Chain A
């Protein structure tokens, strides 16, 4: 069409709208994608033209990923930044898949330009065109049939009722919020019973990374906490550990800020986190203090998702609840550095935010003081989420277990805030879990 020819050069200069789907080991790369100039991360696949899949695909992730791929509007293309070995059936399901160099924004932009100009064809749908819910019933609109509500209008049933604390009986929507939902950590599946905008019940679905973590350690740094896991067995400079801890907390804070509508502040944090060094302590401190003092953010997160001291045993979540536990207290390597744990009192989402920001600043201070001092493996190590190397289960496992109780009765926005404030890592929770037997 004539108009299309005229609009294409103009559109080619636009920011590439990218929907990021995060697979195994891809979280750090996804944060890199947010910082690329000329690239805009969007919340919904329908706002995007490029599906950026970061990390490795595991069998339970494949079908949701293809489903999301089909939800992108044409012209669409998929770019894959595998953090490790390529495989998993993705290339066969998406023949036009582009495997790109990780973190390369120019490559993304060139794929986008080719897509618009017609050099690269828009990807066809990956899944077969089968109605998921066929029309059933007797009448022309699917009505009629047997049972209380009769047939199945338009193929899908209507939600059924459930009692409500108000004394009413209203509909409850069963939602299976999938593994690639942007506000969630990658891989988290929650089966939510939603009544109105309140989560009546939430159960955690099967971990899609179960069984995949054995492969993860082979080809490079996949796990978010790989440096910490490595420090359990080999001597590591304290400076590296603490800078990694600060980087982790800043990245988490950036994601949380995005969730709360402060996307630009989050991008600034990500920019600081990308090239983090102990010398950046002043910049990080001023930004962190500004965010921690933000009254609007405090108003949104105060009193949400309160955890008591008997709910959690370690990590920033416990310290935000008032429990002064930190494996670094008993670590001989930290003795001469003047370390004392940062503690907050209320244990709500606001304190968890302030806790992690304060710990990031403290980590940079420790890194400055430690210099090139080495930490000997042996005692338990304080990872960014909690203690590693103890007999207790990994921190994410315990936190995942808290979710159903924390989310019951919460309004949707508060539920998202709570999930984000716990800083879950489904890959960490999957360590040691066997792969599910395919049905």
Chain B
């Protein structure tokens, strides 16, 4: 099957995003209830995301006084589109990649950079002070985590001698990158949580901004925004599974099952951290990102380079 033709590509990406997002929502809820010591029946836990989504679909969208309507409509679409584009570069099984380009890492990085634009637009177009603050905060955060993100992916590309994600997966035949480059996955997860403004790095949709960029959205718009945000997290988890956890490689089970398990593992880690770690203070995080995370990422690059020689 040619996964690069339109229909299979769309079906594959939609399926992965749908399943991954639902799984993330269930994991998130389960983690929250476990930390809060709340009891929830398994049936309720599994159905809650669908119920919440249908409630949002039945609620009417709102608007503000003088928003920039076009940009406001574009923002969740852009976020979702970038997540889908990023996911397209991830190999889901041997030979099953929607966009098996020679520089998949670069394409992924480019899509994740435009996430910054989407979140900022979402905050700015409402013409309301709290979302505006959220949008500007996100840009500060994004500029800080972009570098560690790109650097750890480059470090993973060194042993593979290629920027193609498929080649990186193949290069992990003997040893997964999470063991070969131990600094890589933690840094990648930090950057990934920033991309999806999740948990500790949720400065843009924060409770101290009463919801931040999502203050003024309701109904289907809110559903679109929340879904798009989770799409990004799923895409990040899938790429992390491919680049650090060996992708579709593994005994006994078929490749896509391994990929699914590894992605779910990363989603579980992200969901866990979202409920256990307090939100960072932006200024301090920026300082730490530039003075600690980037040097660590550079150490990662050079150590893995030295090992690859």
A and B touch in the complex (CB under 8 A): yes
Q: A1-47: which have CB < 8 Å to B?
A: 3-4, 7-8, 10-11, 13-15, 17, 37, 42-44, 46-47
A263–B60 contact, CB under 8 A? no
Closest residue of chain A to B57 (Cβ to Cβ) is A7
Given the complex, which residues of A lie within 8 Å of B219, measured CB to CB? Answer: 73
- Tell me whether A8 and B207 are in contact in the complex, defined as CB-CB below 8 angstroms, given that A260-B278, A300-B280, A411-B283 are known contacts: no
- Tell me whether A14 and B36 are in contact in the complex, defined as CB-CB below 8 angstroms, given that A73-B219, A181-B210, A412-B209 are known contacts: no
B36–A267 contact, CB under 8 A? yes
Bitwise, B47-63 to A at CB < 8 A (1) or not (0) is: 11011101101111110
Nearest Cβ distance between residue A251 and chain B, in whole angstroms?
A: 15
Q: How far is the CA of A69 from the CA of B122 in the complex (A)?
A: 24
- Tell me whether A74 and B59 are in contact in the complex, defined as CB-CB below 8 angstroms, given that A44-B214, A264-B32 are known contacts: yes
Bitwise, A85-126 to B at CB < 8 A (1) or not (0) is: 000000000000000000000000000000010000000000
A412–B208 contact, CB under 8 A? yes
Given A17-B55, A46-B211, 15 new contacts (CB under 8 A): A11-B58, A13-B44, A14-B55, A43-B210, A44-B214, A75-B59, A154-B65, A173-B129, A260-B207, A262-B276, A263-B36, A264-B275, A268-B36, A299-B280, A413-B208
Interface: A170 (CB within 8 A): no
Nearest Cβ distance between residue B11 and chain A, in whole angstroms?
A: 23
B50–A10 contact, CB under 8 A? yes
Q: How far is the CA of A422 from the CA of B211 in the complex (A)?
A: 22
Partner of A43, one of B58, B61, B211: B211
Q: How far is the CA of A300 from the CA of B285 in the complex (A)?
A: 9
B278–A197 contact, CB under 8 A? no
Q: How far is the CA of A11 from the CA of B211 in the complex (A)?
A: 22
Interface: A49 (CB within 8 A): yes
B278–A47 contact, CB under 8 A? no
B50–A259 contact, CB under 8 A? no
Q: Which of B173-181, B195-203, B228-236, B292-300 contacts A (4 or more CB under 8 A)?
A: B195-203
A47–B222 contact, CB under 8 A? yes
- Tell me whether A264 and B59 are in contact in the complex, defined as CB-CB below 8 angstroms, given that A154-B66, A173-B129, A258-B207 are known contacts: no
A300–B279 contact, CB under 8 A? yes
Given the complex, which residues of B lie within 8 Å of A132, measured CB to CB? Answer: 65
B55–A44 contact, CB under 8 A? no
Given the complex, which residues of B lie within 8 Å of A14, measured CB to CB? Answer: 48, 51-52, 54-55
B275–A44 contact, CB under 8 A? no
B200–A261 contact, CB under 8 A? yes
B218–A47 contact, CB under 8 A? yes
Interface: A182 (CB within 8 A): yes
What bracket does the count of chain B residues touching chain A fall in? 35 or more
Given the complex, which residues of B lie within 8 Å of A267, measured CB to CB? Answer: 35-38
Nearest Cβ distance between residue A69 and chain B, in whole angstroms?
A: 13
Nearest Cβ distance between residue A362 and chain B, in whole angstroms?
A: 24
B133–A197 contact, CB under 8 A? yes
Given the complex, which residues of A lie within 8 Å of B38, measured CB to CB? Answer: 37, 267, 271
Q: A residues engaging B (CB < 8 A)? A: 3-4, 7-8, 10-11, 13-15, 17, 37, 42-44, 46-47, 49, 71, 73-75, 116, 132-133, 154-156, 173, 175, 181-183, 194, 196-197, 257-265, 267-268, 271, 294, 296-297, 299-300, 304, 411-414, 416-417
Q: B residues engaging A (CB < 8 A)? A: 31-39, 44, 47-48, 50-52, 54-55, 57-62, 65-66, 129, 133, 136-137, 199-200, 202-203, 206-211, 214-219, 222, 275-284
Given the complex, which residues of A lie within 8 Å of B48, measured CB to CB? Answer: 14-15
Partner of A265, one of B35, B222, B280: B35
Query: What are some 26 contacts across the A-B interface (CB < 8 A)?
Result: A4-B58, A10-B50, A11-B51, A14-B54, A15-B51, A37-B39, A43-B211, A46-B211, A46-B215, A49-B59, A73-B59, A73-B61, A74-B60, A75-B60, A116-B58, A181-B210, A197-B136, A259-B207, A261-B207, A263-B32, A267-B35, A268-B35, A296-B278, A300-B284, A416-B208, A417-B208
Given the complex, which residues of B lie within 8 Å of A11, measured CB to CB? Answer: 51, 54-55, 57-58
Given the complex, which residues of A lie within 8 Å of B217, measured CB to CB? Answer: 46
Given the complex, which residues of B lie within 8 Å of A116, measured CB to CB? Answer: 55, 58
Given the complex, which residues of A lie within 8 Å of B214, measured CB to CB? Answer: 44, 47
Partner of B58, one of A75, A299, A304, A411: A75
Q: How far is the CA of A102 from the CA of B120 in the complex (A)?
A: 41
